[in-house]
Amino acid sequence: MSDSVRGRIGSLRRHPVLAWFRTVLVCLIALNAAAAVWLIVEFDGQYTEGVPSPARIHALAGIDDQNTLIDISIENSSRFFVYQLIRDEVEPENGSENPDDETTNGASVDDEDTDDESMSQLDRARNWIKISIGLLILIEFLVAFVGINPWFRTIGFLAVFVAFIIVLPLSFIGDNPNFASPGESPNSEVEEDDEERGGDFVHEEVGFDLGLRLGGFELSMTYSGYDLGLVDEENRSEVRENPPEEGTRDAASFVKLDSFLSIRYGPAVVLLVILPMLWIISPSSRSFQLQNDECE
């Protein structure tokens, strides 16, 4: 290819009309992503062994710039509800905490809860996304009409990318720690005493397989363990130490759950990946103008 042909192609790529079209298209794509559905989280779990088997739980959540909608459905729900009714609450093995400590820390805990309720993690993520999209649009205008270094686009694009790909899913999990834990409210908080006593399940086995999919990723999980809530209270210490033998009454406390978690981004969010392609196809004319000035 001759130098003259290359020069004509370069001039065409930096033509003012094409630059205008690129700027308008970038802004429309960014604004569309800001107003559309951002994240879709889907959980599907089935109990394959134990008292709640064969109950199946399906949860679906959608997140946009203002709302978080969660829908839950349960198949073979009678077995699941019977399981919830017959199991007992498991007290910490070391006994309850000192009530004086609870009274002393009560005021500070209430203050922290009040502060947390005013701004959730998802709200912070939403603010980050809106600010990063606004920054991206501002940088695009500055590159097109002021002539700043086009590499500033990288800062804006990375801010949007990190906000959607990393911050948003983690914020959803932070606000809804039990979304993938059937039997709990999706947005309920993890109790401190649950963490201290190590949970109601013992001899747990967890397996998972992470994979990518178009527009997101998916996680296949297998969980099994012995539910102490189904074990006689006088036998719980023994079951904590050793798994019960097969055929015994305590062995019926074994529960196994096979589940699938899918996290995918809205089509408008996925469309953001074409922005770098637009910048390559139609680069900024700043360097071209500088070269012309130097030649003159």
* Residue 260: strand pairing partners: 44, 220
Angle at 27 between CA 26 and CA 29, to 5 degrees: 65
Whether residue 138 is predicted with pLDDT greater than 90 in this model: the reply is yes
Maximum Cα–Cα distance across the chain: 94
Average pLDDT of the chain, as a whole number: 80
pLDDT classification of 246: cutoffs 50, 70, 90 = confident
The rounded distance, in Å, linking the Cα atoms of 198 and 92 is 9
Mean pLDDT for the stretch of residues 101-107:
48
Q: Say what the pLDDT of residue 31 is.
A: 94
- Residue 288's pLDDT is what? 40
pLDDT recorded at residue 1? 55
Instruction: Say if CB 62 and CB 39 are below 8 A apart.
Output: yes
Mean pLDDT of 171-179: 83
Give per-residue pLDDT as tens, 267-295: 999 999 999 988 888 777 654 444 444 44
Answer with the residue of higher pLDDT: 41 or 146.
Answer: 41
Using the predicted structure, report yes or no on whether residue 167 has a pLDDT greater than 60: yes
- What is residue 109's predicted lDDT score, i.e. its pLDDT? 46
pLDDT band of 119, cuts 50, 70, 90 = confident
Q: Give pLDDT, residue 164.
A: 94
Instruction: Single out the residue of 212, 226, 187 nearest to residue 59, CA to CA.
Output: 187
φ, ψ for residue 140, nearest 5 deg: -60, -40
Cβ atoms < 10 Å from Cβ of 144: 21
Higher-pLDDT residue of 115, 227 = 227
DSSP three-state, residue 270: helix
Which pair of tokens denotes residue 142?
């500055």
Question: Helix, strand, or coil here: 47?
Answer: strand
Identify the band that residue 15 occupies on the pLDDT scale cut at 50, 70 and 90: low
The residue-averaged pLDDT of 225-248 equals 90
Is the pLDDT at 30 greater than 50, yes or no?
Answer: yes
pLDDT at position 283: 79
